[in-house]
């Protein structure tokens, strides 16, 4: 039985394929988790995830993760994991590019009623 040849995922190409902010795109999966890229600018909504941590890795730009316990400033190559249940809000004064990893189906706002769809690109 033939299998597809393995290929690398080029994150820069994936990020270049869309312009909208705060709309994560799935670029891969592993062990029931989605690997996503997202462009962010401005302020997201305060929210929490009651059942999972929230992983942020900055690829380009700067991101502040405001939390109920204080702010975390991130630059390229830096990551932060928001513990489950902690209220937080990502903020970017200028456009930043982020890699996210979370269990498949996790709503980005913490609430399925307000979450955006996460298409695979």
Domain ranges of the chain: 39-121
**Band (106; pLDDT cuts 50, 70, 90):** confident
Q: What is the 3-state secondary structure (H, E, C) of the chain?
A: CCCCCCCCCCHHHHHHCCCCECCCEEEEEECCEEEEEEEEEEECCCECCCCCCEEEEEEECCEEEEECCEEEEECCCCEEEECCCCCEEEEEEEEEEEEEEEECCCCCCCCCCCCCCCCEC
Fold adopted by 39-121 = Jelly Rolls (2.60.120)
pTM of the full predicted structure?
A: 0.88
Closest CA to 99 of 63, 70, 47, 45: 63
More confident residue, 76 or 114: 76
pLDDT of residue 109: 67
pLDDT of residue 21: 96
Cα separations in angstroms, 113 against 19, 56, 101, 117: 24, 22, 21, 11
Q: Is the pLDDT of residue 65 over 80?
A: yes
């Amino acid at each position: 039985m033939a299998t597809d040849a393995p290929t690398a995922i080029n994150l820069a190409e994936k990020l270049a394929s869309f312009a909208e902010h705060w709309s994560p795109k799935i670029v891969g999966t592993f062990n029931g988790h989605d690997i996503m890229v997202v462009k962010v600018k401005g302020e997201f909504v305060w929210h929490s995830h009651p059942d999972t941590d929230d992983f942020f890795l900055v690829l380009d730009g700067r991101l502040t993760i405001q939390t109920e316990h204080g702010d975390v400033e991130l630059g390229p190559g830096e990551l932060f994991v928001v513990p489950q249940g902690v209220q937080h809000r990502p903020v970017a004064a200028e456009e930043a590019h982020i890699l996210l990893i979370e269990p498949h189906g996790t709503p980005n706002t913490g609430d399925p009623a307000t979450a955006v769809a996460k298409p695979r690109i």
